[in-house]
């Protein structure tokens, strides 16, 4: 590995960030996504959705690493992530 080359001016390693999409009215407020997000990005909203459940809200958007766990665990297809374009 020639890691000593180009000490300056080397581009910063790209950090992958996710953008969270919540389909509020489809959510049934089970909190699975909030509990299993490894970065504690999500929080329970104080507001109700159309069905009377509390959907999640994105509390720390910058912490999301686009791991996709919230999307995989959500039983109601109500949350998904896309890669954030920098």
Q: Could you tell me how many residues make up the chain?
A: 86
Report the interface residues with ligand SF4, using CB under 6 A. Answer: 18, 20, 27-33, 37-39, 41-42, 55-56, 64-70, 74, 76, 78-79, 81
Smallest gap from Cβ 4 to another protein, in A, equals: 38
Residue from 64, 10, 13, 26 nearest 42 by CA: 64
Query: Which of ligand SF4, another protein, none does residue 47 bind to, with CB < 5 to 8 Å depending on kind?
Result: another protein
Query: CA angle 45-83-86, nearest 5°?
Result: 105
Which of the listed partners (ligand SF4, another protein, none) does 84 bind, with a CB threshold of 5 to 8 Å by partner kind?
none
Token code pair at residue 86: 């920098």
């Amino acid at each position: 590995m020639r890691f000593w080359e180009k000490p300056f001016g080397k581009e910063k390693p790209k950090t992958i960030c996710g953008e969270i999409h919540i389909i509020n009215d489809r959510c049934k407020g089970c909190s699975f996504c909030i509990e299993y997000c490894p970065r504690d990005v999500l929080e329970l909203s104080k507001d109700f959705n159309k069905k009377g459940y509390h959907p999640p809200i994105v509390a720390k958007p910058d912490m999301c690493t686009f791991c996709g766990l919230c999307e995989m665990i959500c039983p109601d297809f109500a949350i998904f992530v896309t890669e954030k374009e920098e």
